[in-house]
């Protein structure tokens, strides 16, 4: 039996599934990964340097413009067959009374637009912005902000509700993700280099637990040797094939 067949068999029976996704699942929707050379204006900036509280402190106009341009460009992208397959799998597992937990490092909300319900967003979302003085969040409309940095009526700065380097991940989100990875019968890690913690730690927890673990990724990662099943290739090709087989009696 191939690794893919083992994964399909396990998913046909599983009553608890946990999935962790990264930028690799959105690349085929046209969303550049974090480490791709940025296009155009941003080619001369290091994204990792723009995604920090210090960068926002130093130049809030530059940072908020960068995030707003990413937000607007992501709005033009569509979920790809990998996002859609995961939403189908979620419905299939839940229809049999099982639990399905989707955890993502992505901030593009393409999972939600594909039909996944309440993914755990470990790194926040481009589409949610918050007031730096009250912490109140809101969803900006589909047009660019009128000024950078955008300000609240009281004059406080708005910032994207994403996790910047050096910032803590949302505690409750992390706990829910940890528990799901620890107790699930099948764990899949898809489209992530598994280099950034604590998110990458989720796969370590799953590998040390009793469930079946599978990686679907274009390139090898530090987790490739640790998971039970390693499927090398594009998520948009592998996932629809796997989910179609799971849903075919
Ligand atoms: P990376 O860009 O580090 O890794 C993307 C992974 O996807 C790579 O391992 C690719 O091999 C794989 N990949 C590319 N195309 C693929 C495809 N079509 N199908 C399947 N896999 C594919 O992105 P992440 O691992 O998500 O954190 O990065 C993790 C975090 O690093 C980000 O969330 C961000 C960044 O620092 C924060 O912003 C806090």
Handedness of CA 12, 15, 235, 128 (dihedral sign): positive
| Residue 58 belongs to a domain | yes
135 and 219 together in one domain: no
CB 180 within 8 A of CB 20: no
Q: What's the CATH number where 24 sits?
A: 3.40.50.1220
Q: What's the CATH number where 46 sits?
A: 3.30.1600.10
Residue 7 DSSP label: H
pTM score, two decimals?
A: 0.96
Predicted local distance difference test score (pLDDT) of residue 80: 98
**Between β-strands 186-190 and 212-217, what pairing exists: parallel, antiparallel or unpaired?**
parallel
Q: Which domain holds residue 53?
A: 41-76+128-162
Distance (Å, whole) CA 220 – CA 223: 8
**Segment 109-114 mean pLDDT:** 98
Distance (Å, whole) CA 109 – CA 93: 21
Please name the residue whose Cα sits nearest to atom 35 of ligand 1. Answer: 34
Q: How many domains does one find in the chain?
A: 2
Model pLDDT for residues 27-41, shown as the tens digit of each residue = 999 998 766 666 666
Please name the residue whose Cα sits nearest to atom 16 of ligand 1. Answer: 24
**Between β-strands 137-138 and 158-162, what pairing exists: parallel, antiparallel or unpaired?**
unpaired
Distance 21 CA to ligand 1 centre (A): 8
For ligand 1, residues with CB inside 6 Å are: 22-24, 27-28, 33-35, 51, 105, 123, 163, 191-193, 195-196, 217-219, 221, 234-236
92 and 185 together in one domain: yes
Distance (Å, whole) CA 23 – CA 107: 9
Please name the residue whose Cα sits nearest to atom 25 of ligand 1. Answer: 192
């Amino acid at each position: 039996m191939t690794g893919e067949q083992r994964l399909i068999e396990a998913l046909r029976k599983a009553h608890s599934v946990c999935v962790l996704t990264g930028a690799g699942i959105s690349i085929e929707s046209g969303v550049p990964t974090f480490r791709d050379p940025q296009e155009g204006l941003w080619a001369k900036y290091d994204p990792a340097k723009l995604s920090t509280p210090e960068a926002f402190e130093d130049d809030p106009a530059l940072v908020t413009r960068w995030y707003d341009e990413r937000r607007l460009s992501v709005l033009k992208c569509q979920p790809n067959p990998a996002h859609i397959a995961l939403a189908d799998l979620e419905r299939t597992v839940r229809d049999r009374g099982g639990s399905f937990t989707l955890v993502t490092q992505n901030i593009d909300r393409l999972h939600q637009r594909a039909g996944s319900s309440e993914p755990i967003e470990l790194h926040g979302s481009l589409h949610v912005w918050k007031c730096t003085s009250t912490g109140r969040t809101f969803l900006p409309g589909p047009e660019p902000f009128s000024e950078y940095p955008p300000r609240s009526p009281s004059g406080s700065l708005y910032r994207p509700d994403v996790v910047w380097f050096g910032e803590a991940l949302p505690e409750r989100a992390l706990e829910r993700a940890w528990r799901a990875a620890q107790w699930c019968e099948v764990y899949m890690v898809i489209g992530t280099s598994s280099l950034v913690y604590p998110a990458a730690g989720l796969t370590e927890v799953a590998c040390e637990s009793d469930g079946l673990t599978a990686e679907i990724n274009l390139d090898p990662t530090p987790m490739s040797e640790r998971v039970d099943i390693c499927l090398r290739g594009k998520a948009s090709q592998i996932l629809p094939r796997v989910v179609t087989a799971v849903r075919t009696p």
